[in-house]
Structure 1
Amino acid sequence: MALAREPQRKEYWRWTEYNWRNPDLDWRRAKTITAGVDVGSVSSQAVIMCDGELYAFANMRTGSDSPTSAQRAMDWAMENTGMTLKDVHFTVGTGYGRVNVPFANKAITEIACHARGGNFMYGPTVRTILDMGGQDCKAIHCDEKGKVTSFLMNDKCAAGTGRGMEVFADLLGVSIEDVGELSLQVAEEPEPVSSTCVVFAKTEATGLLRAGWPREKVLAAYCSAMAHRVVSLLERNGVEPDFAITGGIAKNVGVVSRIEKELGIKALKPRYDTQLAGAIGAALFGKALVEKGRR
């Protein structure tokens, strides 16, 4: 007798992976083709730029090791383009796994790359960038060229980061992409849960659910705690307008709106996927290095 299969548990933390190619650009006509590969603790992005213009990218989950994640992201970005690694003049690795991008010509810190990428994405008026990544957050000051002038980062911990939000989405059975909107569906703002440790926050949230709190109220409490934690980081480094947010959590309207409320400053609206900032900055550094070598 055949055994009945248990229904597969839905992975609420799983966000949409995708790739993209600019149909209006012919890479074969470009003088300089550069790539940036950002291997983070949670996600990996590969960006290809032709003469400083965005040509193609891939945004996907980081796998079990950095070299494979970097290669998979790059392969997906080049998919159906006719391009190979030999056509790329310079590749820069960045992010948590930047030294383990096997085909990179150089590794540059994610702080420098997010500042440069933020400058490209939001314009030269940006002075403060909050990078909300998978395992840490960084408050960055930069000049009109996207050069870092100062920065601060929190301790590497899931609390207040993308991974922490994934844990909560899974705990509450809410799609990670719906968390932000749902957290705003409360009549009044609840007290924040613990923001110092995701294990404590998860335990506290479980207790609140047992006490009868609806999911949106628990999510509001966690989004509020996350916002308060990063605002504290920003204020320690100082906040100068214009202000922008990069990283995956920048897509969470529940966190972003609470950050804006605490700061009394509106963040600039992104024109590109906020998860691409590091890889874009890396590709732009690659372009500058190629042009410097040609002089």
Structure 2
Amino acid sequence: MYLGVDIGSLTTKVVLIAEDKKVIDFKYQRTGPSGKDSALKLIKEILARVGVAEEKVKGTVATGYGRVLFSGREYSEITCQARGVAHLFPGVRTIIDIGGQDSKVIAVGKNGKVLDFAMNDKCAAGTGRFLEVMSQALEVSLEEIGQLAEKSSEAARISSVCTVFAESEVVSKLSQGQSRETVARGICEAVASRTAVLAQKVGVVEPIVFTGGVAKNTGVVKALERKLGISLVVPEDSTITAALGAALLALENS
């Protein structure tokens, strides 16, 4: 058995795989104040759930923001993301990943080799945290933003690139009588626009796989497809691909 641990800024993910590279189990939760504690808790829960003793785990690799705090081998999230996605989609050429506090676009070659990448980790704009703040301004759940956006054919213009100013802009548009649906679509369009700029720096080659928690937002997926003029592939669970890649690297380097 091999473990992949992805300690993200908002969510920690753990994947357990077997020698044949098949996923045995996975679990994730909010990272909280200690990513290491969250990871250890998830590992304990997964091993207990599948009835596997700790000594059966032959290798563990950590990735994500909190990887340096976790004992054992570590790899960058870029490397792990590419490895995990290429395992699920062998023909992938571009990965768009939007997580809690960063977004990245990765150009991928054969066998998940990273050819180039661009990353936004200096600002929350266009990330999961941005959507969380906007959902609070709209007074809806995070999941509802995408659903609301799909109900409108028009998008409010959210021009601020700063999350704090964008929040004020959303509140202002609502107070002016614009519908939540129109504003929600505008929020999704804003995320898509910022991601498209990042993608242009790397170059977009199909097939493109969209990963990260934001890939679960249908409004952002549709907005990004419209912006790029290309269909996106979204994994069954878009949040665990980096952790899967980490587990695969643990196996391959054991």
Tell me if both proteins adopt one fold, taking TM over 0.5 as the criterion: yes
Q: 1:258 aligns with which of 207, 223, 232?
A: 223
Q: 1:119 aligns with which of 86, 92, 117?
A: 86
Partner of 2:252: 288
Count of residue pairs brought into register by the alignment? 253
In 1, the alpha carbon distance for the partners of 2:242 and 2:127 equals 16
* Structure 2 counterparts to residues 140-151 of structure 1, below 5 A: 140-151=106-117
Residue identity over aligned pairs, in percent, reads: 40
Shift of 1:232: 0.5
Q: Which runs of 5+ in 2 are unaligned?
A: none
Q: Secondary structure at the match of 1:274?
A: coil
Contact 1:193 1:205 (8 Å CA) reproduced: no
Q: 1:165 aligns with which of 105, 109, 131?
A: 131
Q: Which runs of 5+ in 1 are unaligned?
A: 1-32, 291-295
Question: Which amino acid in structure 2 is aligned with residue 140 of structure 1?
Answer: I
Cα RMSD over matched residues? 1.2
Contact 1:183 1:216 (8 Å CA) reproduced: yes
CA deviation digits over 1:27-71, x for unaligned, max 9? xxxxxx110000000111000000111001102111101211211
Contact 1:138 1:154 (8 Å CA) reproduced: yes
Question: Which amino acid in structure 2 is aligned with residue 114 of structure 1?
Answer: Q
Q: 1:216 aligns with which of 165, 171, 181?
A: 181
**Deviating more after overlay: 242-251 vs 153-162:** 153-162
Looking at CA atoms only, which structure, 1 or 2, has the larger radius of gyration?
1
In 1, the alpha carbon distance for the partners of 2:234 and 2:38 equals 29
Partner of 1:48: 16
Question: Which amino acid in structure 1 is aligned with residue 185 of structure 2?
Answer: A
Question: Which amino acid in structure 1 is aligned with residue 223 of structure 2?
Answer: R
Partner of 1:10: none
* Structure 2 counterparts to residues 10-25 of structure 1, below 5 A: none
Where does structure 1 differ by over 3 angstroms across 4 or more consecutive aligned residues?
none
* Greater fraction of residues in helix: 2
Partner of 1:238: 203
Contact 2:63 2:246 (8 Å CA) reproduced: yes
Partner of 1:182: 148
Normalising by structure 2, we get a TM-score of 0.96
Contact 1:43 1:59 (8 Å CA) reproduced: yes
Q: 1:202 aligns with which of 164, 167, 179?
A: 167
